[in-house]
A and B are shown apart, each in its own frame.
Chain A
Amino acid sequence: MSFCVLLLIVIIISMVYFVASKGVANFVSGEVKVSEFLFGTKWSPEADTPSYGAFPFISGSFLVTLLAALIASPLSICAALFMTEIVPGWGKKLLQPVIELLSGIPSVVYGFVGLSVIVPFLRDTLPGQGIGVAAGALVLSVMILPTITSVAADALASLPQNLKESSFALGATRWQTISRVILPTTFPAIMTGVVLGMARAFGEALAVQMVIGNAPFVPHSLFESASTLTSVITLGMGNTTMGSPQNNALWSMALVLMLMTFVFVLLVRMLERRNKI
């Protein structure tokens, strides 16, 4: 049994080691400067003087992630409140399976639905081609709904009953109780859910790749094509030669993704610690 645990540690150490060693190859060999990679806005690896600015992709990843969290969080928190505070009986019976089913739908299916429903809808109603940041953010927001909702619902359900009762005893309405007592108390726990959802959105590859358009520019509006780190890696990894500077630049992006995962895990841990007190 200790072998199984040891295996886990070996896996993670080798994972970090392999991705990091590939990811820094370009910086070590002097092919690309770290600052150029992180902040350069020009991505043209096949030009005569190639430039490997990954800023459009990094900013694209952050943009869709934040947008998705902004759309999904209010919806999820309301769903959690519905399940625990408004109609705890049938509300939970109705929403629990919905949340479980939503989280079970594979990401390529979300991508397919985004491509065949959301993109044409955006194309017909709003300016632009339909594919773009808005479509990506919408697809992602549905994908992260279950994560945020289930964490928020757990947090709300574990709240001591007497907190609520004393608020009601003071004559507060339900909304006053929710907004002044329940939400402030559970704020760190709900934020944990939001961060977990953002982590999922940041790392999601295929669904975003299908609807975002994959243009290597920083978008000027929400309805323009853009790229994320994951979408560029998905498309580029198979078409570049292993060990070439272009391929190594993709590995650097993977390293950025990995580092962001650590940041998200760290954030979750900090929030959980705050939640305990």
Chain B
Amino acid sequence: MSNTFLTACGDRQSALHAHGANAQKIFDLIWTFSAVAATVWLLVVLVLATALLRGNLAKASRSPLQIDADQERRLTRAVGSATALTVVVLIALTIGSFFAGKSIASLSGSETVTVRVTGHQWWWEIRYPKTDSSQAILTANEIHVPVGESVKVKLDSLDVIHSFWVPSLAGKRDLIPGRPSELTLTADKPGIYRGQCAEFCGYQHAHMAIIVVAESREAFDAWRSRQDANAVTPASDEERRGQAAFLGTGCALCHAIRGTPATGTVGPDLTHVAGRRSLAADALVMTPGALAAWIADPQSVKPGAKMPRIALSADDLNAVVTYLGSLE
């Protein structure tokens, strides 16, 4: 069903495919720690195997062994050195981890773009605050960022705890009601990166994905100014009929379309919905068919989603889909 992997072949949501400074630093740490861990484990298993073989080859006897004082002394020395070595390795790892943490923290402060992300059960509300050249805008489930620039992501939640995680770009950060937090991410290559809510947030936690679209500065600016515009006015009869149905049947209670009387805030803002790549937090690819399927019966696509089924005649449904499809 979901889609953004299609172009990406599974490497767009992976801590092992780091495409940003934050994720890259952690990736290096993962390798260091894994190498040390594998070495230690191998040593332990080798010594264990040796111990088993030499004892077993010495022929098992059922009567308890006498303790040999010399051997005990040697064993004490061995256990002592192993412990000392453990302490040294742990200190080294702790220091390494500390410096990685520091250099990730040092990424913040140089951001050129700020995005506010609010977690909802089960979708992401995205808000770009007002800048000198643009007004504040609202969108959903898709973040656009300019490549190579640091982006400040400000996080909060209005219902339960969620966690913002785009593994290829950065580590995760929880969204806790009443405790705003933030995160810095950079994308060093253009592309589409997928992320997912990482903190269990109820019924449809599995379908709470987010997409980060990293594009050149020009493409980003162009996207940003497109978002500034209000929704296009319906051009055809079909679209007009769709808009009327949208406004008349209750969609507008929950959704906003800037430039129309629809100002609902419960669901995602639909002003430029057709410009987005996916629907319902990446549960569906954005196509007219998917839009129709979703609107006709959201609960069969994403059971538990907080969008009710709304009774629309077939014609109205088609019209609504056409209308939403025009909202680029």
Q: Do A and B come from one complex?
A: no
